[in-house]
Amino acid sequence: MRPTLTLIFMVAMLYGCGPIRQLQKVRSQVPMLGSIGQPQSSLFNKEFQKIGEPHFANPISVSLESLPLSGKTKARYENYRERIGMEPLSSIMDSTQLTGLKYYQIKINDAVRLVEALNDEQNTNLKTYLKEDMDLVMLSEVSLVADAELSKKLDIAEKLYLTTNQSAALTLKINDAKNGHAIQLSYMDIFDYRTASFCWNKDKRGNLQIAQILLKGGACPGDTEANPEKLNNIPDYLKL
């Protein structure tokens, strides 16, 4: 991170808001699918420091899968509960209930629509920070445990959309992107996640733009670069 940006982030964190939050009008510091930030992982903890979030003029369809909460995933959830001061599952459930536990995995799969959205004029300020700080990534997949009421809605959901609500905050909506049931963050425990990084190129006018989003990891392909500054070091006539 550049020295100037480092200072901005330090001051912003001190006062409880990131610079992108100010520019993008983020209403909550709780990470949501699509949030922009920095992973903060250790051997036992996996956290995500949310810095800001994009604006989606058009909703993005995301995938939803229900899976058994067992093995390593259950251990990760138990660790999450301990970290935030919740009781162990064994203290509040019997063996039958523990066996039937499940969690939900929600992923962004439409990389093309996502690239279009991030290059939209409404996300100009966000792109500026992404260009300046290569440590920033997008929360592209979340694993969560929902309460009983939300679980019922998710189990019968035919579609799920990621969109920006009237308060300029990211939200998930069930079945209908405009009038569907909005999922409240307070009803779910996001205990695990995956992130996506960005690849850059230049448009026909020579302006930097996001060319691809690496939802499954790997290196930037072709003439795209993870570090946009590298594109400025190559004369345009050498790319023709």
pLDDT digits (tens, 9 = 90+) for 27-74: 455 678 999 999 887 656 778 889 889 999 999 999 999 999 999 999
Give the tens place of pLDDT for each residue, 65-110: 999 999 999 999 999 999 889 999 988 888 888 888 999 999 999 9
Using pLDDT thresholds of 50, 70 and 90, give the confidence band for residue 232: confident
Residues near 219 by beta carbon (within 8 Å), at least 6 away in sequence:
226
The CA radius of gyration of the chain, in Å to the nearest whole number, is 19
Closest by CA to 138, choosing from 208, 59, 199, 84, is 199
CB atoms within 10 A of CB 35: 25
Residue 117: predicted pLDDT: 95
Taking the C-alpha atoms of residue 178 and residue 193, their distance in angstroms, rounded to an integer, is 26
Three-state SS at 79: helix
| Region for residue 156 given its phi and psi (left: phi exceeds 0; alpha: psi -120 to 50; beta: otherwise) | alpha
pLDDT at 176 over 60: yes
| Cα-Cα-Cα-Cα dihedral sign, residues 181, 183, 188, 193 | positive
Mean of all residue pLDDT scores within the chain: 83
Q: Which sequence spans correspond to the domains of the chain?
A: 3-197
The confidence score (pLDDT) of residue 83 equals 87
For residue 61, count other CB atoms closer than 10 A to its CB. 13
The number of helices, as runs of H, and strands, as runs of E, in the chain is 9, 10
Query: For the purposes of burial, counting CB atoms within 10 Å of the CB of 31, is it exposed (0-12), middle (13-18) or buried (19 or more)?
Result: buried
Residue 168 has pLDDT above 90, yes or no: no
